[in-house]
């Protein structure tokens, strides 16, 4: 079995509400939140292979999830989330990100991602392309306008 202690470096961004537990030999690199002007440079500078969203559903998470997915995807960072997280609706598992299956643990999922590390850049690129095509502001506004004008014709 693959030893995650040697294969995974945990990077925490923001102010975690919960104490983060890691294997004893694994160090946790912590970065506090930064201003909106520095956000993309900060995240891009971390050189992340995958971004794990372990959060359960929450009231304000629905609104933030599309924005967060879009931000990370535009940087080419694939997301791993659980099956309850709102980001799951943007992810085609294994194509542009990863959704933790009910029977999987995060540990199992990370082992699988490490085994396919060479394909993570392509999966990040797929997330980037999907975001540009479907989630960018201009595309969303154009789709809204099409729906409004389509209603007027019926």
- Higher-confidence residue of 110 and 64: namely 110
Instruction: Report if pTM > 0.85.
Output: no
Nearest 10 degrees: Cα torsion 95, 125, 31, 137 = -100
9: confidence class by pLDDT, cuts 50, 70, 90: confident
User: Is the Cβ–Cβ distance between 73 and 79 less than 8 Å?
Assistant: yes
pLDDT at 51 over 50: yes
- Higher-confidence residue of 120 and 136: namely 120
Look at residue 2 in the predicted model and tell me its pLDDT: 54
User: Is the Cβ–Cβ distance between 106 and 8 less than 8 Å?
Assistant: no
Q: Three-class SS of residue 36?
A: helix
User: Is the Cβ–Cβ distance between 106 and 79 less than 8 Å?
Assistant: no
Look at residue 104 in the predicted model and tell me its pLDDT: 86
């Amino acid at each position: 079995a693959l030893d995650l202690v040697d294969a995974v470096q945990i990077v925490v961004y923001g102010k975690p509400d919960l104490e983060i537990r890691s294997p004893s030999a694994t160090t946790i690199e912590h970065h506090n939140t930064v201003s909106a002007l520095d956000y993309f440079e900060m995240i891009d500078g971390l050189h992340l292979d995958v971004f794990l969203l372990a959060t359960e559903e929450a009231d304000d998470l629905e609104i933030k999830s599309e924005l967060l997915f879009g931000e990370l995807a535009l940087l080419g960072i694939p997301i791993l989330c659980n099956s309850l997280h709102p980001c799951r609706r943007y992810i085609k598992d294994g194509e542009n990100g990863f959704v933790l299956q009910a029977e999987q643990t995060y540990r199992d999922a990370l082992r699988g991602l490490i085994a396919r590390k060479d394909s993570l850049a392509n999966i990040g690129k797929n997330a980037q392309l999907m975001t540009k095509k479907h989630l960018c502001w201009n595309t969303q506004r154009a789709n809204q306008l099409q729906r409004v004008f389509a209603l007027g014709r019926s």
